[in-house]
Amino acid sequence: MSTLQPVRGTHDLLPDEMRAFRHVVETGRTTASRYGFDEMATPIFEFSGVFARTLGDTSDIVTKEMYTFADRKGESITLRPEGTAGVARAFISNGLGNDLPFKVFYSGPMFRYERPQKGRQRQFHQIGVELIGVPDPQADVEVIALGRHILDSLGLKGNVTLEINTLGDTESREAYRGALVNYLSGHLGLLSTDSRERLDRNPLRILDSKDEGDRAVIANAPLLGEYLNPASRAFYDDLKNGLMDLGLDFVENPRLVRGLDYYGHTAFEFTTDALGAQGTVMAGGRYDGLIKTMGGGATPGVGWAAGVERLSMLLAAPPATTRPVAMIPAGADPMIKREAMILTERLRRAGFAVDLGFSGNMGKRMKRANKVSARVAVIFGEDERLARAVTLRDLDSGEQTTVALDRMEETVRTMLAGASEVAIGGI
Ligand code: ATP
Ligand code: MG
């Protein structure tokens, strides 16, 4: 195992990829802020109990995916596998329960020990939102609308489908649990070992299994929807009506469950066919029990998280970048190089993005100006140095003009005024 290789399941974000990646995060951040969600961040690691207690001790994450280690004092620490538990912990430890609703956006790396494949890594990134303190399904509608808005802004309108389901309240789930266990017990021999183990502790989790044998059994299992009490049914109807009011298309998927234990009522996913097996790009639901389970007061919540890598892969076109100005020192005199550096800094202080090539003749520097999609080249050679001037070339039209040094910034500004943005680099 070479230490020069990245660790399995981790990935360098080189500039082209980072550009798409950042576009996803920034679109999430600005759209969330339009919906009244402020950004926050929690630590990347927490005491293991924050996750182990809340995600459910039969969830995939807790049983096999957590990066857990003892720190130097022997404290059990876990790299966060998801964002909601940390936000809920922060909500409780900062005593934020008096000022509700609490609406936040977050982004950052998550860690899960999974089998790496396309769209599935051990260090990946999420953006997510939480809306804490509102029991009304209108909150669910708001977070789903925000999710859809972000996906639309990323140009994914036609590629991503919203699937929804209800997990009902505790009473409905209890009623269903009996029927489900009864059914599954009749097919024990066909279930995977994992699922057989879950049968007693958390049979609903079996519905989320990816095992093919399990899936065949699940296909004929009774549906939770048939066991909803009137309150749960009303909640679900309100959700659907709210989505329809906003013109948000959805597909009901009665087999959709979330992999974590803390969800009830609303469960939803935005899915795509374009990423093979890893088709879920954004997933969320309502977690009214979570904060109480963690030791806070009973406080409802609803939210989602989206995989930034999966969304980046879906972007059709790389996002536009600002076209820089290229500084082209021309000539052998060392003073040219020094003064060009000073002019470069002057332009940057004036607000322009300036690319300064460090070496090469005029031809090589022009090539570089092309590569970075520069719009304007500032040529500073022997003639210009003596005349205290610069030559400014419009790299699209080829027109050029020589202006006194003290008019450099204003002329560049005028030339750029008509410039458009252009996409550079592939994803
Ligand atoms: P999956 O069923 O694909 O394992 P999950 O239910 O474990 O997903 P969530 O915990 O709901 O996923 O996480 C929300 C989103 O984060 C997912 O929809 C996906 O876009 C992304 N995601 C989850 N795990 C990974 C991973 N290992 N690598 C990349 N993205 C991931
Ligand atoms: Mg998973």
Sheet of strand 67-70, all strands in order from the earlier edge strand to the far edge: 45-47, 76-79, 67-70
Say if ligand 1 is within 6 A of residue 284 CB.
Answer: no
Higher per-residue confidence, 392 vs 199 = 392
Q: Does 23 have pLDDT greater than 50? A: yes
Task: Give me the mean pLDDT over the 109-130 stretch.
Answer: 96
Q: Does 34 have pLDDT greater than 50? A: yes
Kindly report the protein residue whose alpha carbon is nearest to atom 23 of ligand 1.
307
Q: Are 403 and 379 in contact (CB under 8 A)?
A: no
Strand-pairing partners, residue 212, are none
What ligand has the least distance to the C-alpha of 304?
Answer: 1
Q: How many Å lie between the centroid of ligand 2 and the Cα of residue 1?
A: 26
d(CA 386, CA 116): 61
The 10s digit of each residue's pLDDT in 264-290 is 999 999 999 988 888 999 999 999 989
Question: 380: exposed, middle or buried (C-beta count within 10 Å: 0-12, 13-18, 19+)?
Answer: buried
Q: How many Å lie between the centroid of ligand 2 and the Cα of residue 307?
A: 11
Kindly report the protein residue whose alpha carbon is nearest to atom 21 of ligand 1.
307
The 10s digit of each residue's pLDDT in 100-112 is 999 999 999 999 9
Q: From 263, 275, 303, select the one nearest 84 (Cα to Cα).
A: 303
Instruction: Give the per-residue pLDDT at 62.
Output: 79
Question: 101: exposed, middle or buried (C-beta count within 10 Å: 0-12, 13-18, 19+)?
Answer: middle
Higher per-residue confidence, 162 vs 63 = 162
Q: Does 367 have pLDDT greater than 60? A: yes
Say if ligand 1 is within 6 A of residue 339 CB.
Answer: no
For a mutational test of ligand 1's pocket, the pick from 7, 124, 214, i.e. the residue with the most ligand atoms closer than 8 A to its C-beta, is 124
* CB contact set of 321 (below 8 Å; sequence gap of 6+): 19, 373, 421, 422, 423, 424, 425
The 10s digit of each residue's pLDDT in 287-345 is 998 999 999 999 999 999 999 999 999 997 777 788 999 999 998 899 999 999 999 99
The 10s digit of each residue's pLDDT in 170-216 is 899 889 989 999 999 999 999 999 899 888 888 888 888 888 999 99
Instruction: Give the per-residue pLDDT at 60.
Output: 75
Say if ligand 1 is within 6 A of residue 305 CB.
Answer: yes
Q: Does 424 have pLDDT greater than 50? A: no
Q: How many Å lie between the centroid of ligand 2 and the Cα of residue 55?
A: 12
Cβ–Cβ contacts within 10 Å for residue 225, how many? 18
Alpha helices in 220-361 (DSSP H): 230-245, 290-293, 308-314, 334-349
- What are φ and ψ of residue 229, in 5° steps? -80, 170
What ligand has the least distance to the C-alpha of 126?
Answer: 1
Cβ–Cβ contacts within 10 Å for residue 70, how many? 10
CATH code reported for the domain at 15-169+229-314: 3.30.930.10
Domain with CATH 3.30.930.10 in the chain: 15-169+229-314
Kindly report the protein residue whose alpha carbon is nearest to atom 11 of ligand 1.
283
Q: Are 347 and 408 in contact (CB under 8 A)?
A: yes
Which of 183-197, 227-241, 412-426 reaches the highest mean pLDDT? 227-241
The minimum-distance atom of ligand 1 relative to the CA of 112 is 27
- What are φ and ψ of residue 208, in 5° steps? -95, 5
Q: Does 141 have pLDDT greater than 80? A: yes
Q: Are 48 and 20 in contact (CB under 8 A)?
A: no
d(CA 287, CA 82): 14
What ligand has the least distance to the C-alpha of 303?
Answer: 1
Q: Does 425 have pLDDT greater than 50? A: no
The minimum-distance atom of ligand 1 relative to the CA of 304 is 14
Kindly report the protein residue whose alpha carbon is nearest to atom 25 of ligand 1.
120
Instruction: Give the per-residue pLDDT at 197.
Output: 86
d(CA 109, CA 96): 24
For a mutational test of ligand 1's pocket, the pick from 122, 211, 278, i.e. the residue with the most ligand atoms closer than 8 A to its C-beta, is 278
Say if ligand 1 is within 6 A of residue 114 CB.
Answer: yes
Around 146, how many Cα atoms within 13 Å sit in the side-chain half-sphere?
32
Q: No. of H helices and E strands in the chain?
A: 15, 16
Higher per-residue confidence, 16 vs 427 = 16
Q: Does 370 have pLDDT greater than 60? A: yes
Say if ligand 1 is within 6 A of residue 259 CB.
Answer: yes
Kindly report the protein residue whose alpha carbon is nearest to atom 16 of ligand 1.
307
Q: How many Å lie between the centroid of ligand 1 and the Cα of residue 122?
A: 11
For a mutational test of ligand 1's pocket, the pick from 310, 313, 314, i.e. the residue with the most ligand atoms closer than 8 A to its C-beta, is 310
Q: Does 390 have pLDDT greater than 90? A: yes
Give the CATH superfamily of 325-417.
Anticodon-binding domain (3.40.50.800)
Q: How many Å lie between the centroid of ligand 2 and the Cα of residue 61?
A: 7
- In the numeric block, the tokens 């597909």 are attached to 251
What distance lies between CA 6 and its chain's CA centroid? 22
The minimum-distance atom of ligand 1 relative to the CA of 278 is 3
Element holding 408 (H helix, E strand): helix 408-417
Domain with CATH 3.40.50.800 in the chain: 325-417
pLDDT, averaged across the chain: 92
**How many Å from the N-terminal Cα to the C-terminal Cα in the chain?**
29
